[in-house]
Amino acid sequence: MKTAILDRFVFSDEVRDIIENAPEIIIPESRKEILDLAIAGRDLFEVGYEVPGKGFVVEATVTRCKNGLVVNYPEPYMRRRDPNALVVGDNLETDKPRFRERFGKEFEPIRQETFEWLKKQELILLPFMAGGYDYGYPAVLIAPKNAGFFVGGLADLQFFVPASEVPENFKPKLYMFLAPPFRHTHFDGKQVVVHYRHNSHYEIFSYNLYPGPSAKKGVYGFLLHVGEKEKWVTAHASAVKVITPYENELVIMHEGASGGGKSEILEEIHREPDGRIKLAENIVTGEKFYMELKQSCVLMPVADDMFMCHPKLQTGKKLVAKDAEAGWFIRVDHITEYGSAPDLERLTIHPPEPLIFLNIYAVPNSTALIWEHIEDEPGKPCPNPRVIIPKRFMKNAVSEPVKVDVRSFGVRTPPCTKEKPTYGIVGLMQILPPALAWLWRLVAPRGHANPSIVSTKGMTSEGVGSFWPFSSGKMVRLANILLEQIIDTPETRYILVPNQYIGAYKVGFMPEWIAREYLSRRGGVRFRPDQLVPSKCSLLGFSLKEMKIEGNTIPKELLQPHLQSEVGEEAYEKGAQELKDFFKRELKKFLTEDLNPVGREIIQCCLDDGSLDDYLKIIPMNF
């Protein structure tokens, strides 16, 4: 039903035309109303559309469970983000593929077709504040009524404004349009999200129903666009405030490509049934390392994926930032059985309100369980099961800005052995000087067995900041902003942590959990020079000589992988060369006339096989 609330909006002419012609416009008043629309009064609801030549095509099913709605896609391809989904439909400056380059035609006619299609649909109009109520920007999603689960996902992820609370003169800076059947009629079944920039506003056209590249990363792209113009950035990062058993506090910000451990840094350390912690298991010998930690630190989650580093927040010489999301899109592929993550299991089984799950096995009116993942094919679980959790449901969640003590960068690493040398040579925790910290954020390896995106082969880059797949702008400008941010916040320190493997040892996400417990207990990353040793690969900064936590000594071969008998010096050097070659290949593209001169010096140092001391001379690191 159309409502006088629409008069509070200041729409673009084209959007006003859609609103005036659509047969029905629903502006939700509550989260419950959206979830009711998503299931349409049924226990199992098929979301589909008439497609010329194909008939009625089911894009997704929504199952009503006791603890929420479970969304599943018939096509395995639609169960994770296609890293090439983003294309730019306008003619402004960009380093991203343009629509006409990829598809051989201009976007404008399809843009108008999209508007015409929406005019014929019963629609949901969702107002929200992209990036936050305090520092965010007015935005709206316009979606077909039967795609209520998509609307609900965005309402949980971003800062939903109920109909009765829409202020006068609500003028969107971001419009998101959802038109799922265009995937088949125009794009050969592929995920395509078109970004279209105007001087007055930003448009996102989502032509598929997986929310990752649009409701999630599309909004991120808009925030990056605003930051690029204003010289600030929304980091691709999670953050946690850690309180030790001795009541010391430390804020750790964890960055990295998708699958790099951002959500995991917010999780309690995983334990064996007897309470012990399994650090690592040797894939050659079967040897296992355990430790006991009677009392873990208290975790206060701050951000899960998008960390707004707005200049209005900045004070002092540490980076200050806040969460740019109202809810979190949590991947649960590593939760494979009951008891893996008790706190998250408890919250998702007995949530205060129904949740939205994706790629989880479900039967109507049962309880959706986050360790029961849908199968892509018999015996092969989908690697990207998800649950969207509104932040207000999270225990001890922090919403105000925080000062960052440690910036961690995560990379998925493969096993490395003498028989098969790889870049899996990163020790449990590497200490990075600022110049190297910046380089890692430029090359941002997607790494080994990335579960979040459609598969890629070999070592590939997520791009500058690890947020490049979501940006519609210029990569060197973003690289400069990142460098200036690092230079301007010298009291924030940097580490690098692997996940999955350290040499021949399977470790999962244990390195970041151990690093978190260790650094919080010792108060940060300030070490005496005699406590560190330059890594044998200069790109890895410093290694620790030793690490002790609550009387537990971490095996030295996990800190310095070349000491493992299954690895050795020769395999380590081959892995180091693979890293160096990757860095050189990825960094050359940044050598343009727009690059910050300090950045040029750092990149040239890498291309010249510079030493650790060379990097320290460019941007000093205070020990």
**Residue 278: its pLDDT value, please?**
97
Q: How confident is the model at residue 623 (pLDDT cuts 50, 70, 90)?
A: confident
Sort residue 55 into left (φ over 0), alpha (ψ -120 to 50) or beta: left
**Residue 452: its pLDDT value, please?**
55
Distances (CA, A) of 526 to 406, 433, 492: 10, 12, 10
pLDDT of residue 451 exceeding 90: no
* Residue 452 near residue 217 (C-beta atoms within 8 A): no
The residue type at 229: K
DSSP state for residue 567 in the 8-state scheme: T
- Output the DSSP codes for 207-254: -SS-SIIIIIHHHHHHHHHHHHHHT-EEEEEEEEEEE-TT--EEEEEE
Neighbours of 189 (CB within 10 A): 12
Distances (CA, A) of 251 to 176, 239, 298, 368, 390: 34, 7, 12, 33, 21
Task: Spell 255-278 as b/e; 16+ CB within 10 A means b.
Answer: bbbbbbbbbbbbbebbbeeeeebb
Residues for the chain: how many in total?
Answer: 623
For 257-316, how does the pLDDT look when each residue is reduced to its tens digit (9 = 90+)?
878 999 899 988 988 989 999 999 999 999 999 999 988 899 999 999 999 999 999 999
Pick the CATH number of 4-38+82-230 from 3.10.690.10, 3.40.190.10, 3.40.449.10, 3.40.50.2300: 3.40.449.10
**Residue 338: its pLDDT value, please?**
93
What gap in Å lies between CA 563 and CA 559, rounded to an integer?
9
Torsion of Cα atoms, 180 then 184 then 186 then 187, to 10°: 90
For 93-107, how does the pLDDT look when each residue is reduced to its tens digit (9 = 90+)?
999 999 999 999 999
Average pLDDT along the chain: 95
* Residue 574 near residue 497 (C-beta atoms within 8 A): no
What are the strands of the beta sheet with 44-51, ordered from one edge? 44-51, 55-65, 68-72, 355-358, 386-390, 327-331
Q: Which residue has the tokens 């917010």?
A: 266
- Output the DSSP codes for 89-155: -SSS--SSPBHHHHHSS-SHHHHHHHHHHHHTSEEEEEEEEET-TTT-EEEEEEEEGGGHHHHHHHH
User: What does the longest C-alpha to C-alpha distance in the chain come to?
Assistant: 73
What gap in Å lies between CA 465 and CA 233, rounded to an integer?
9
* Residue 129 near residue 153 (C-beta atoms within 8 A): no
Task: Provide the β-strand partners of residue 493.
Answer: 406
> Can you list the alpha helix ranges (DSSP code H) found in 450-559?
475-488, 510-522, 556-559
* Residue 26 near residue 123 (C-beta atoms within 8 A): yes
Half-sphere exposure of residue 79, counting CA atoms within 13 Å on the CB side?
28
What gap in Å lies between CA 126 and CA 124, rounded to an integer?
6
Query: pTM of the prediction?
Result: 0.94
Q: Do the domains spanning 4-38+82-230 and 234-319+404-618 agree at the CATH topology level?
A: no
Give residue limits of the domains in the chain: 4-38+82-230, 234-319+404-618
3-state secondary structure of 36: helix
∠ Cα 348 353 355 (to 5°): 50
> Can you list the alpha helix ranges (DSSP code H) found in 235-372?
342-349
Domain 234-319+404-618 architecture: Alpha-Beta Complex (3.90)
**Residue 24: its pLDDT value, please?**
96
What gap in Å lies between CA 291 and CA 270, rounded to an integer?
12
For 560-584, how does the pLDDT look when each residue is reduced to its tens digit (9 = 90+)?
999 999 999 999 999 999 999 999 9
Q: Which two tokens stand for residue 357?
A: 């799950």
pLDDT of residue 453 exceeding 70: no
Q: How confident is the model at residue 450 (pLDDT cuts 50, 70, 90)?
A: low
For the ranges 45-49, 157-161, 618-622, the lowest mean pLDDT is seen at 618-622
pLDDT of residue 164 exceeding 80: yes
∠ Cα 116 129 226 (to 5°): 85
State the average pLDDT over residues 192-218: 97
3-state secondary structure of 536: coil
What gap in Å lies between CA 511 and CA 503, rounded to an integer?
13
For 14-40, how does the pLDDT look when each residue is reduced to its tens digit (9 = 90+)?
999 999 999 999 999 999 999 999 999
Q: How confident is the model at residue 457 (pLDDT cuts 50, 70, 90)?
A: low
Crossing angle between the packed helical segments 108-119 and 13-21, to the nearest 10 degrees: 30
For 381-420, how does the pLDDT look when each residue is reduced to its tens digit (9 = 90+)?
999 999 999 999 998 999 999 999 999 999 999 999 999 9
Q: How confident is the model at residue 233 (pLDDT cuts 50, 70, 90)?
A: very high
Q: Which two tokens stand for residue 8?
A: 């509070």
